[in-house]
Amino acid sequence: QKEVEQNSGPLSVPEGAIASLNCTYSDRGSQSFFWYRQYSGKSPELIMSIYSNGDKEDGRFTAQLNKASQYVSLLIRDSQPSDSATYLCAVKTAGEYGNKLVFGAGTILRVKS
Amino acid sequence: SAVISQKPSRDICQRGTSLTIQCQVDSQVTMMFWYRQQPGQSLTLIATANQGSEATYESGFVIDKFPISRPNLTFSTLTVSNMSPEDSSIYLCSVDGKYEQYFGPGTRLTVT
């Protein structure tokens, strides 16, 4: 069973701080990695995708990938109360019938003003 | 990006009945995916639906319980059959974009 592991949290950070969210995955063959944000009662929305080792920055968000360690992280700088949500790590992995997304359990982030 | 709509947005159903959820995409797509998100849980893939062929189901999901139709490249339905309270979940339709996967707004199902 190919797995994606996340700390469920909640992770609490003060407004303006850096939030660090972590994810590990089991399938060494995975090539595509995604971070989704999900507000309560809403569907997931894509925040970041990353395909190569290293960092990828987009505004206040930075995704980091280390394939050797099978580790993906998401940094949120200058955290805002509106960032409070569940963050889902997803890994595209080879399934029996083709590539599929496997999701972690999600990390609840709470940004306190 | 693809725009995905789902109907109904929510429903309350009695055990033993069935509900069909519709998913409409604003562009033609090869593969459509159906996910389930149980309360407090993450997303679990139910099946992948290709136009013109039988849906492929993930381990733990069977066609008799979750029959899927895919009549064309923009539309799919998922039926939740013979429902029990354990089927209370959010059901999400999803499609592949060029690099990432997009999700519909979901159908919140409560089975009493």
Chain B residues within 8 A of A45 when measuring between CB atoms: 103
Which phi and psi (to 5°) does residue A26 adopt? -100, -25
Give CA–CA dist B27/A25, Å, rounded: 32
Q: What is the pLDDT of residue B100?
A: 82
pLDDT of residue A94: 78
Q: Poorest-confidence range of A88-97, B11-20, B103-112?
A: A88-97
Q: Is B7 exposed, middle or buried (0-12, 13-18, 19+ CB in 10 A)?
A: middle
CB contact under 8 A, A100 and B100: no
Q: What b-and-e string marks burial along A95-106, b requiring 16 or more CB atoms within 10 Å of the CB?
A: beeeebbbbbbb
Q: What is the pLDDT of residue B53?
A: 81
Q: Is A40 on the interface with B (CB under 8 A)?
A: no
For residues B77-103, average pLDDT? 93
For residue A46, the chain B residues in CB contact (below 8 A) are 100-102
Q: Chains A and B: how many Cβ contacts under 8 Å?
A: 48
pLDDT for res B97: 81
Is the minimum CB–CB distance between A97 and chain B shorter than 8 Å? Answer: yes
DSSP bridge partners of A33: A50, A91
- Do A96 and B56 lie within an 8 Å CB cutoff? yes
The reply to whether residue A44 touches residue B41, judged by beta carbons under 8 angstroms, is: no
- Residue B11 is which amino acid? D
pLDDT tens digit sequence for A62-109:
999 999 999 999 999 999 999 999 999 999 987 766 778 999 999 999
- Closest-CA distance, A56 to chain B, in angstroms, reads 15
State which amino acid sits at residue B111: V
Contact A96 B33 (CB under 8 A): no
- pLDDT at position B34 is 97
CA distance B18 to chain A (A): 23
Residue range A15-68, pLDDT digits in tens: 999 999 999 999 998 989 999 999 998 999 999 999 999 999 999 999 999 999
pLDDT exceeding 70 applies to what percent of chain B?
100
A34 in contact with chain B, both atoms CB, cutoff 8 A: yes
